[in-house]
Amino acid sequence: MDYQNLILATKSVREYKKDTVDTQKLKALKDYAQNCPKIDDNIETEIRILSNNDVYIALDGIAGYHGNMIDAPHYILILSENKEHSVENAGYIGESMILKATDMGISSCWITFSDGKAIKERLSILSEKEVVALIALGYDANAPKKGAAISLESNKIGLDEMVYIDKWGNGADASVLEERGLLEAFAFSKLAPSSLNQQPWRFLLTGGKAILAIKKDKNTYEQKIDSGIIMLFFQLMVSATLFDLRWKLESPADSLTIPEEFEIVAYCMV
């Protein structure tokens, strides 16, 4: 997949046409789900693609922003065993599925929820695994005309606000990132979606590592989903332009000083 163009093309869609996605595309998406990349291969997951039928009615009031469920022809439901980093893993998997859907001309949107058990009950899902992600899927009811420009840069933080060199607050200069071969990776990573567009992530480049810190949120679920999404974007970009990158879901041994409102969630070698 051409991830750069897919990142530019992906947007959150809340209104869908009634048309269902054709069978071949759904099959291709289900096939992709079988080998969808993860942050942690040791976490058992299950990806289901549901057709609307009664899903919208069943989940209205318990899923969606303030309980306002998104009416879509299909949904991606991600189930996971309850392990450390299972939600970050879900963010990573879910956004990977979204990029694949975009590649096939299918729109999508993350759906918030607070009670995974209630979702399982309403949908009569018999599984030991927990609901960790729900995503709407279908065709955009308000798709822009072909050739219309879509701006993703508006309201996005600058690279010098997102990436620090050697110490917290020392904003990275684009020329320095370019010298390190990381400018493109960070430029596309900052386009990653986040809950309420809060863009809670910061990177600290020091000692040959890229250390990811996330601003703490009362809603720890959304904080972890956002963490998984930004890890996917950065990994895809670095792996496409430089080398295969793997995240370590822990804080490095280095002695680091970061603001109290942030926490380190992972790091990788760069």
Question: Domain ranges in the chain?
Answer: 3-138, 159-269
Alpha helices in the chain (DSSP H): 3-9, 23-34, 55-59, 86-103, 116-122, 159-162, 174-179, 183-189, 220-241
Highest mean pLDDT among 25-29, 218-222, 243-247: 25-29
pLDDT tens digit sequence for 8-67: 999 999 999 999 999 999 999 999 999 999 999 999 999 999 998 889 999 999 999 889
Q: What pLDDT score does 123 carry? A: 97
**DSSP characters over 102-115:** HHTT-EEEE--BS-
Q: What pLDDT score does 217 carry? A: 86
Q: What pLDDT score does 218 carry? A: 84
d(CA 136, CA 109): 5
Q: Which fold has domain 159-269?
A: NADH Oxidase (3.40.109)
Q: What pLDDT score does 7 carry? A: 95
Pick the more confident residue, 149 or 102.
102
Q: What pLDDT score does 234 carry? A: 98
d(CA 65, CA 50): 20
Mean pLDDT of 127-141: 98
* Mean pLDDT computed over every residue of the chain: 93
Q: What pLDDT score does 146 carry? A: 58
Looking only at the bridges linking them, the beta strands covering 163-165 and 201-206 are parallel
Nearest 5°: CA angle at 270, between 98 and 260?
Answer: 80
Nearest 5°: CA angle at 97, between 101 and 123?
Answer: 100
pLDDT surpasses 90 at 248: yes
Mean pLDDT of 198-212: 96
d(CA 167, CA 171): 9
Class of domain 3-138: alpha beta
Give percent of the chain above pLDDT 70: 96
Q: What pLDDT score does 143 carry? A: 81
Kindly report the length of the chain. Answer: 270
pLDDT surpasses 70 at 131: yes
Q: What pLDDT score does 23 carry? A: 95
DSSP 140: B
Mean pLDDT of 118-126: 96
pLDDT surpasses 80 at 149: no
Residues 6+ apart with CB under 8 A from 31: none
61 contacts 106 by C-beta, under 8 angstroms: no
Mean pLDDT of 102-116: 96
Specify burial of residue 261 (Cβ count, 10 A radius: 0-12, 13-18, 19+).
exposed
- Which pLDDT band holds residue 219 (cuts at 50, 70, 90)? confident
